[in-house]
Amino acid sequence: MNVPFLYTPWISFPITDERKSGFLAPAIGNSDKRGFELETPYYWNIAPNYDATFTPRYMSDRGLQLNGEFRYLMPVNRGDLQLSWLDDDAYEDQRWLGRWRNTLRPSTHSRVDIDLNGVSDKRYFDDLSTSLDVISATHLDRRMDARWWFDQGEVLLRLQGYQTVNETLLSTQYPYRRVPQLLFTGGIPDGALGLDYGLRAEWVQFDHDDLVNGSRLDLKPSIALPVRTPGSFLEPRLSGRYTAYRLDDSLPADQREPDRLVPTFSLDSGLIFEREASDRAIQTLEPRLFYVYTPYRDQDDLPVFDTGDLTFTFDQLFREDRFSGPDRVGDANQLSLALTSRLVDTASGRERLRASLGQIFYFEDREVTLPDQPAETRTESDLAAELGAQLGNFWKIDSSLLWNPDTEQTARGSTRIQYRRDSRHVFNLGYRYREDDFEQAEISFGWPLSRRWNGVGRWVYALDDNRDLEALGGLEYESCCWKARLVARQYVTDGGTEYNNAIYFQLVLKGLMDVGRNIEDLLEEGILGYELQD
């Protein structure tokens, strides 16, 4: 419109799709933990398949941080390397971060993934990161996976360790290292006699600084006879699990090579009834029965390398085992009863409503437990319920509930109500509850206030502690050629004991560059369904 918008003594940018070396737009911000921040990235276009970015980051309360990222792309190999270094004035020590991610595809049936992460100290992310997801991380993964695929299955070779960055965990709570893990999963569907054959075979060498070390061999073959019709299904399955250990020499000789063999029988069955609810909708009624029998085997002499309790949900009604790993196989003599009803739009096939209710009935006590846990003696599980509804074209409800019939109280529940007309008209209302743990409410939105102004906000409140967990609010102004975003945020850090206040500003010159802190991910992750378009 013939009005100068931005004066700069010198600027250079490509007018084609080709990349060009030079300074990128700076990022400016301010927070309680770091003070005033200024980042001035420099991009180096080394070659068509190599590039690097060097980003000095000045923080008035901590000093000058040097960041670098190198990316490479080759016919069968790609990856990136990131390094950061800071002589921290507030921490009074040198701090660093390193990250290497690489993907190698030597053939169409194989792949090698490397993901190595490390930081100088446990408080690194809490002090220097701007992402709430990263701040809440407890372990950094260090892993190499090599996979091979073929018609009947997949083979995985894994080397995996962790760096624990949670200061509240004891060393005995750190996870084991896998050095290495060899895993085969596969099977033959529709094999001889119409049977499905499956096999999971695993060998792992576990290593830990403060706990017992050793190796584990785990074999789980299975055979099933699925019978399916348009309105019913029946699937009996028989499996066995053999697990053997070879533990280190610090244990008595009779405890170094424990093993266990457990069979499991399950029967999954269901019916699907349909009726016309209206001229445009079909309603289904889907009863389902799932029976599991696993005899008791004493497993108290077996170590626990990587096994834990699974969180009970509606889907847990149809699992054969209540544990997440092979160190424990839960004894079971139980029947799951569930009922699901759906309302389906006949024109689009879209599910307008889904309601499910189910419960497990136990015929025997569950005596197999993890260390220091009592046997489970309840005769029935929590009542699990789920509800999903699409109300009109814009409203959506998702809800889940666990209700304890013994105490007649809610054990866990969550509800989310969303209005989404499009990617810019979004409103979310959520509630989460876990008995004796937390109770939280959440509101988030992204909404045009006028033709040029947009507003965003998010508020997470702990009802049990009567305090804010996160509060975010911001405005965006948009014209034909540029946008400006200003966002203020307060969120908990230091394990929930302190607040950090931050201000983010971003200037978007459409088709050219972004100036200031990149806040797209912050808004799109924090406001479900909201999408920014530059």
pLDDT in tens, 8-26: 787 777 777 788 899 888 8
9: cis peptide before it, omega within 30°? Answer: no
Identify the pLDDT of residue 136: 63
Identify the pLDDT of residue 495: 61
Identify the pLDDT of residue 132: 55
- Contact, 491 vs 473, CB < 8 A? no
Percent of the chain with pLDDT strictly greater than 90: 69
pTM for the model stands at 0.86
Identify the pLDDT of residue 534: 60
Question: Which residues, 6+ apart, have CB-to-CB distance to 403 below 8 Å?
Answer: 382, 383, 385, 409, 410, 411
Identify the pLDDT of residue 514: 77
Mean pLDDT, range 48-55, rounded to an integer? 95
Mean pLDDT, range 133-145, rounded to an integer? 81
| Cα→Cα distances 421→77, 402, 427, 448, 525, Å | 42, 31, 9, 12, 18
Which burial class, exposed, middle or buried, applies to 517 when counting CB atoms under 10 A from its CB (0-12, 13-18, 19+)? Answer: buried
Q: What is the DSSP string of 508-533?
A: EETTTEEEE---HHHHHHHSTT----
Identify the pLDDT of residue 493: 74
For 398-452, what is each residue's pLDDT tens digit?
A: 999 999 999 999 999 999 999 999 988 999 999 999 998 899 999 999 999 998 9
Identify the pLDDT of residue 457: 95
| Cα–Cα distance measured from residue 212 to residue 210, given in angstroms and rounded to the nearest whole number | 7
Residues facing residue 256 across a β-bridge: none
Identify the pLDDT of residue 131: 60
Structure tokens at 439: 């109770």
- Contact, 516 vs 38, CB < 8 A? no
List the beta strands (DSSP E) in 190-303.
196-207, 214-224, 227-229, 232-247, 259-271, 273-276, 281-294
pLDDT surpassing 70 at residue 133 = no
For 289-317, what is each residue's pLDDT tens digit?
A: 999 999 999 999 999 999 999 999 999 99
For 148-195, what is each residue's pLDDT tens digit?
A: 999 889 999 999 999 998 888 889 999 999 999 999 999 998 888 889
Q: Indicate the average pLDDT of the chain.
A: 91
Identify the pLDDT of residue 279: 84
| Cα–Cα distance measured from residue 136 to residue 496, given in angstroms and rounded to the nearest whole number | 10
| Cα–Cα distance measured from residue 102 to residue 79, given in angstroms and rounded to the nearest whole number | 4
Rg of the chain (C-alpha set): 28
Question: What stretches of 62-147 show up as alpha helix (H) in DSSP?
Answer: 124-128, 132-135
Identify the pLDDT of residue 194: 83
Structure tokens at 325: 């790993």
pLDDT surpassing 80 at residue 518 = no
For 320-368, what is each residue's pLDDT tens digit?
A: 999 999 999 999 999 999 999 999 998 888 899 999 999 999 999 999 9
Mean pLDDT, range 220-243, rounded to an integer? 96
Identify the pLDDT of residue 250: 72
* Number of neighbouring beta carbons within 10 Å of residue 450: 8
| Cα–Cα distance measured from residue 326 to residue 244, given in angstroms and rounded to the nearest whole number | 10
For 477-506, what is each residue's pLDDT tens digit?
A: 988 888 888 999 988 876 667 788 888 888
Percent of the chain with pLDDT strictly greater than 70: 97
| Cα–Cα distance measured from residue 68 to residue 48, given in angstroms and rounded to the nearest whole number | 19
Q: b/e for 6-44, b at 16 or more Cβ within 10 A?
A: eeeeeeeeeeeeeeeeeebbebbbbbebbeebebebebe
Q: How many H helices and E strands in the chain?
A: 3, 31
| Cα–Cα distance measured from residue 159 to residue 114, given in angstroms and rounded to the nearest whole number | 9
Identify the pLDDT of residue 475: 94
pLDDT band at 524 (very low <50, low <70, confident <90, very high): confident
For 253-292, what is each residue's pLDDT tens digit?
A: 778 899 999 999 999 999 999 999 888 899 999 999 999 9
pLDDT surpassing 70 at residue 39 = yes
